[in-house]
Structure 1
Amino acid sequence: MTLPVVPKALGNLRHVFSSSLLAVQKKPNPLGLKPKKKIVCILVDGMGAENILARAGHAPYLAAAVRAGAVGFSGFPSTTSANIASFATGLSPGEHGLIGHAVYDRKHDRTLNLLTGWDESTDPLLWQPNTCVSELSTAAGIACNVIGHAEYQHSGYTMATMRTANYLVAESMRERFDRALEVMVSKSESISYLYIPELDKYGHKFGWETAGWAALLEEVDGELRRLVGKLPTDAGVLVVADHGMMDSPLERRLYIDDFVDQGGLVDHFAGDTRASYLYLKQPDLAQGFTEQLNNQQEIFTAVTGTQAQAANWFGPIGPEARDRFPDVILLAKSNITLFHSVFTKKRAFDMTAHHGGLTSQETRVPLVRIGF
């Protein structure tokens, strides 16, 4: 079986924050950013490059940049937990270990949501032990700021990805851009991460192909233009996203119990709705089971975890990722989403927009450089 071809630039989102720190330090960096005293990285959750172009009338500034080639790529899977962790560490998912939306926690025999499932038995320092860009920045005497909602300030995911950063609480989108402007006009050297979750949240609930989603995109575009209009000469701005979005109508949301439960091999079902992870009771049977599953080629492509690693979808595989790696991965076709009646929560099935897969709509993201 031929695996889906991935772009050579897959996962270059991981270079954005680390390159920003190097640029402030006046050092060479993967993105080739020119030295700046202050850099703000605006990460808009769920704002894919193709989503922007489809709503270009609502985002003329961003659309013009994307048309001019300001495009990067998320890593695989195209999901928030994996890609913001890559943004925050400069590492691929296989290196930092947060390899999906949900993974099987073998130690506690449970499926763990890597965004919101952290609890007293889940230590972020063990689940993501690699050094964060925020830690490198602090150690170098350069301020690192996170600008976001109060609800994320003390979360396990923030501890896993933005350790030692100054957290600047701002609730509305305008307030967050105002805080970014305050940072940019200050005299201190800094890198800042401004997080915009509104488009992703709205898209999941109502779909990105809606007037409401377009209105939020328009707000982002307008706030960005306002910020850029006041950009000091010693500051730079980068605009990125962690993934794009794809609407999946109700008739394309499929329970796949009958396909994957044959033979009783499946122990846990995790991952994303567009890139599902199967953990088997007998991992050594993964190859034969995958071949059997590929009788459903019109619904999904099944690959073994070993094949995905060999194809470098996750980058180099470290010990944390290896312990969480699925035996089989199902890539949903077209705009299909995959669910399991035992393991999937109803709120996931009720969502309209999804992501996680390898399509260009999910992986192509803006990478806009301003002031460089």
Structure 2
Amino acid sequence: MFKSALSSVLGERSELGFKPRNKVLVIFIDGLGYQNLKAAAGHAPFLAGAASKGQVLHAAFPSTTSVNISSFATGLRPGGHGIIGHVVRDRYFQRTLNLLNGWTEETDPLQWQPNQTISEAALEKGVVTNVISATEYRTTGFTKATMRGVLFHEADEIADRFEMAKRLLESQERSINYLYIQELDQLGHVKGWESDSWRALLEQLNGILERFTQVIPKDAGIVITADHGMVDTNDQKRVELDELLRPRGVEFVGGDTRSMYLYLKPEVDKESLLQELETYQQFSAYDANALVEAGLYGELGPQAKERLPDLVLLAKGNNTLYHSDFSKPRSYRMIAHHGGLSSQELQIPLIRFNI
């Protein structure tokens, strides 16, 4: 999508059919799945109405933030950019990494995500890339992996981000612009997307966006989208896998609560373990190579090959998957989750104005 925004500014044909514009702003609302928005349409009539006239796209698998922002930022599928899950084990580097917020000084973003970003391609073409986001994201490893060569504009309040975006769109400079809203996803994890507080925040965003789209310059286009949807769960839907996995040679558990990655010790008979796991009703079990063959990751590059797990467990229904040796304590308290293959997690809106 960001690739199509750049094509629009360059006056080139884009994959999404965007019209030529001097400036394009992509508003990225983390966690605003199409089905979530449709279900809460009474709280967001402007957004829901615009979404019904737009397109429904599908997030990349796994339906999690690090994967889909990386695809947005590079124009590549997960197998191409190598950010293939929330938490992975890399066999080449011999380390594990939370690819969203677990970066340290020892994890070089250029090694973990070496592909050219859309922002770098824009820079080569003389087009400015502006990122409008919260201060905490300015210097993270994930930002360095995905948004290289950008001008970063800090704004911790949502309303301030839109004020900044308005000023940037009023500039005469050709630009692609990325405005990130993380608050809806964060609130969903804590309260659930069906909660009153989540819907109140959506209502607030609906009003801000309705006013904002009425004052954009004629040479600017606006796109609103998301990285994934969310499903609400409860404690009864939690599937504890400690006793099942500990004696079976699982070296590391990665992924997330809806798509668990299993990395096995070399001596483990993968096929036998897979056959056993396939008998459980709370999740589906797959050889990761089968998911690759099915096209879920796209063509694998060298980085993705080193991080691919041996087996993948996909939660069924609204279940969530945990292993206490690897799952963070805060994940046990989360209500809304994502990462799986359900349509509620995968379907995202593509809303456009003047483009």
Aligning the two structures, in what range does the TM-score lie when normalised by the shorter sequence? over 0.9
CA shift for structure 1 position 233: 1.3
Amino acid at match of 1:159: K
TM-score with structure 2 length normalisation? 0.98
SS of 2:21 mapped into structure 1: coil
Matching of residue 275 in structure 1 with residue 254 in structure 2: no
SS of 2:327 mapped into structure 1: coil
The aligned counterpart of 1:362 is: 345
Cα-Cα RMSD = 1.2
SS of 1:313 mapped into structure 2: coil
User: Alignment partner for residue 322 of structure 1, among 305, 315, 321?
Assistant: 305
User: Alignment partner for residue 336 of structure 1, among 319, 325, 338?
Assistant: 319
SS of 1:178 mapped into structure 2: helix
SS of 2:168 mapped into structure 1: helix
SS of 2:263 mapped into structure 1: strand
* Alpha-carbon distance in 1 for matches of 2:101, 2:55: 31
CA shift for structure 1 position 108: 5.4
Equivalent residue runs for 1:1-372 within 5 Å: 16-107=1-92, 109-262=94-247, 264-282=248-266, 285-296=269-280, 298-372=281-355
* Alpha-carbon distance in 2 for matches of 1:56, 1:283: 52
Amino acid at match of 1:371: N
Amino acid at match of 2:125: A
* Alpha-carbon distance in 2 for matches of 1:349, 1:148: 28
Amino acid at match of 2:333: D
* Alpha-carbon distance in 2 for matches of 1:282, 1:136: 41
CA shift for structure 1 position 289: 1.5
Task: Give the length in aligned residue pairs.
Answer: 355
Q: What percent identity do the matched residue pairs reach?
A: 46
Show CA shifts across 1:114-171 (max 9, x none): 0111112100000000000000111111110000011100000000000010001111
* Alpha-carbon distance in 2 for matches of 1:59, 1:175: 20
Amino acid at match of 1:317: L
Amino acid at match of 1:265: G
CA shift for structure 1 position 259: 2.6
SS of 1:236 mapped into structure 2: strand
On the 8 A contact 1:259/1:293 being kept in 2, the answer is: no
Show CA shifts across 1:66-124 (max 9, x none): 22342111100000000000000000011000001000133554431101111121000
* Alpha-carbon distance in 2 for matches of 1:365, 1:286: 35
The more displaced of 218-227 and 24-33 is 218-227
The more displaced of 311-320 and 63-72 is 63-72
Amino acid at match of 1:312: G
CA shift for structure 1 position 368: 0.6
SS of 1:323 mapped into structure 2: helix
Amino acid at match of 1:308: L
Return 5+ residue gaps in structure 2 as ranges: none
* Alpha-carbon distance in 1 for matches of 2:31, 2:272: 35
On the 8 A contact 1:77/1:100 being kept in 2, the answer is: yes
On the 8 A contact 1:283/1:327 being kept in 2, the answer is: no
Amino acid at match of 1:175: D
* Alpha-carbon distance in 2 for matches of 1:73, 1:178: 30
On the 8 A contact 1:43/1:194 being kept in 2, the answer is: yes
The more displaced of 287-296 and 19-28 is 287-296
Give every structure 1 segment of 4 or more consecutive aligned residues whose post-TM-superposition deviation is greater than 2 Å: 65-70, 105-111, 258-262, 282-288
* Alpha-carbon distance in 2 for matches of 1:115, 1:242: 13
Amino acid at match of 2:258: R
On the 8 A contact 2:92/2:306 being kept in 1, the answer is: no
Distance of aligned partners of 1:103 and 1:283 in 2 relative to their CA distance in 1, 3 Å threshold: farther
SS of 1:301 mapped into structure 2: strand
* Alpha-carbon distance in 2 for matches of 1:228, 1:48: 20
TM-score with structure 1 length normalisation? 0.93
On the 8 A contact 2:253/2:262 being kept in 1, the answer is: yes
CA shift for structure 1 position 186: 1.2
* Alpha-carbon distance in 1 for matches of 2:267, 2:101: 28
* Alpha-carbon distance in 2 for matches of 1:319, 1:251: 40
